[in-house]
C-alpha cells in the first residue's frame, strides 16, 4: 500500500504545527514498532507527500487563531493498493 497526502492552505499561513513526522521502524520480538525520529517535515503549500503505508508516521497538532475555514491547513489523503 501507498499513502498520499495533498496539503493546501492560504498564504500567508495562519496556523502553526501540522508537521509530518516519520519514524524508523524497529523489530522487537517479532513486532514492528516505531523507533527514533527519522524526519520532521513541514509540508509546503500545494504539495503532495507519498510514502509507504507501513511507515510509522504522525502529524503534529495544529493551532490556529480562528475557526475560519480559510485560515486552516487542509488536506486530502488516501491510500492506493498496488
pTM of the full structure = 0.82
The residue among 11, 5, 71 whose CA lies nearest residue 43 is: 5
Judged by DSSP in three states, 60 sits in coil
Please write the tens of the pLDDT for every residue from 21-74.
999 988 778 788 888 999 999 999 999 999 998 899 999 999 998 999 999 999
Write down the pLDDT at residue 14.
92
Residue 19 to residue 5: CA distance in whole angstroms: 12
The residue among 7, 76, 4, 73 whose CA lies nearest residue 45 is: 7
Strands 57-59 and 20-28: antiparallel
Write down the pLDDT at residue 54.
87
Write down the pLDDT at residue 82.
73
Amino acid at each position: 500500500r501507498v499513502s498520499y497526502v495533498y496539503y493546501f492552505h492560504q498564504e500567508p499561513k495562519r496556523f502553526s504545527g501540522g508537521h509530518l513526522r516519520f519514524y524508523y521502524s524497529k523489530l522487537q520480538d517479532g513486532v514492528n514498532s516505531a523507533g527514533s525520529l527519522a524526519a520532521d517535515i513541514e509540508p509546503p503549500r500545494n504539495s503532495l507527500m507519498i510514502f509507504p503505508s507501513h511507515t510509522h508516521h504522525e502529524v503534529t497538532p495544529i493551532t490556529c487563531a480562528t475557526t475560519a475555514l480559510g485560515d486552516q491547513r487542509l488536506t486530502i489523503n488516501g491510500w492506493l493498493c498496488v
